[in-house]
Structure 1
Amino acid sequence: MKGILYALIGGACITLQGVANARISEDIGTWQAATITQLTGFIISLIILMFVRDAAPKGLRQVRPLYLISGAFGAVIIFSEVTAIHKMGVTLTISILLIAQLLLTFLIDSNGWFEVMKQKMKLPQFIGIGLMIAGVLIMKL
């Protein structure tokens, strides 16, 4: 149950962040909005880390370099989401983002990429993704 709650909170925050960034970018520019977002995220994460104090600095050496650059994806996410919101609106943008996430996670799970346990995809997963794509196409009309 906690997982579902965290997923709902995360999804809501992704949408709120996208809308806020789109608004900020109208005033100062998209890359500036991305910079502010990344900076404030870093500051809040650092403050939380100082209170939680569960850091394992020695473990940092064990992390693959590929995974250490994952934060850089945030800049691309923000730029892409803000640009899409300006061109298509919030609802369609978030819908397509969700489909892109599902398609990539489908590939990651089914191929066991990034050291995740391989999952066998079955008909219900294919139907679910198909229905989501159909829903976006209907919304676009």
Structure 2
Amino acid sequence: MIQGLLLAILAGSLVSLQTIFNSKVNEHTGSWSTTTLVLFMGFAASLLFGIIFEGGGLFTLSHMKPWYWISGAIGVGVVICLTLSIRMLGPTYAVSVVLTAQLGCALLWDSLGLMGLDKVPFTSQQLIGVLVIIGGILVFKLGGRERQTA
């Protein structure tokens, strides 16, 4: 369990770091150029590490449902939407909203047992947890404003 938590923390840190890099690239190019560059570099890195760690078994894709192939296209949506939302909302607010939406959707998919997931019972504690996070984002976004005097 500890290893899973550490990997999740690392993943969150890397998403945050990638978000910063993507926004800096986007300052010099367009959103679609940024998305193309990010996903191409991800492809190149994945291919290299896959060959190193998995060798010839890298492309053994037995018993995979055909609709799982759209995950790459979903990645395009993730990068383009995040890049544009950062431009409009700023990095911290955009990532907070993205992570809350990610948590809410994961909770929904788990609770309904969608996409081949084991069905997990929905509890009021889970709902309260998501609502607390949403409340925290609202406090973060709206609570820090300084009052302007005339």
- Please give the range of the TM-score, normalised by the shorter of the 2 chains: over 0.9
Question: Is residue 74 from structure 1 mapped to residue 103 from structure 2 by the alignment?
Answer: no
Q: What is the TM-score of this pair, normalised by structure 2?
A: 0.88
Q: Which residue of 1 aligns with 2:24?
A: 23
Task: Rate the CA distance shift 1:138–1:65 in 2: closer, same or farther, 3 A.
Answer: same
Residues 56-75 of structure 1 mapped to structure 2, 5 A cutoff: 57-58=59-60, 60-75=61-76
The alpha-carbon deviation at position 61 of structure 1 amounts to 4.3
The alpha-carbon deviation at position 2 of structure 1 amounts to 0.7
Q: Alignment RMSD, CA only?
A: 1.3
Question: Is residue 128 from structure 1 mapped to residue 145 from structure 2 by the alignment?
Answer: no
Provide the secondary structure at the position in 1 that maps to 2:71.
Answer: coil
For structure 1, the residue ranges without an aligned partner over 5 or more in a row are none
**Separation in 2, partners of 1:57, 1:126:** 40
CA contact (8 A) 2:50 2:58 kept: no
Provide the secondary structure at the position in 2 that maps to 1:62.
Answer: coil
The alpha-carbon deviation at position 113 of structure 1 amounts to 0.5
Q: What is the TM-score of this pair, normalised by structure 1?
A: 0.94
The alpha-carbon deviation at position 63 of structure 1 amounts to 0.9
The alpha-carbon deviation at position 52 of structure 1 amounts to 1.0
CA contact (8 A) 2:23 2:87 kept: yes
Please identify the structure whose Cα radius of gyration is greater: 2
Residues 80-91 of structure 1 mapped to structure 2, 5 A cutoff: 80-91=81-92
Provide the secondary structure at the position in 2 that maps to 1:63.
Answer: coil
Q: Which residue of 2 aligns with 1:39?
A: 40
The alpha-carbon deviation at position 95 of structure 1 amounts to 0.7
Q: Which residue of 1 aligns with 2:109?
A: 108
**Separation in 2, partners of 1:9, 1:17:** 12
Letter aligned with residue 50 of structure 1: I
For structure 2, the residue ranges without an aligned partner over 5 or more in a row are 143-150
Q: Which residue of 1 aligns with 2:3?
A: 2
**Separation in 2, partners of 1:57, 1:30:** 30
The alpha-carbon deviation at position 34 of structure 1 amounts to 0.6
| Fraction of identical pairs, as percent | 31
**Separation in 1, partners of 2:54, 2:85:** 38
Higher relative contact order (Cα pairs below 8 Å, separated by 6+ residues): 1
Provide the secondary structure at the position in 2 that maps to 1:69.
Answer: helix
Q: Which residue of 2 aligns with 1:137?
A: 138
Letter aligned with residue 90 of structure 2: G
Letter aligned with residue 128 of structure 1: G
Letter aligned with residue 100 of structure 1: A
Deviations 1:110-137 (A, max 9, x none): 0101111000021211110010011111
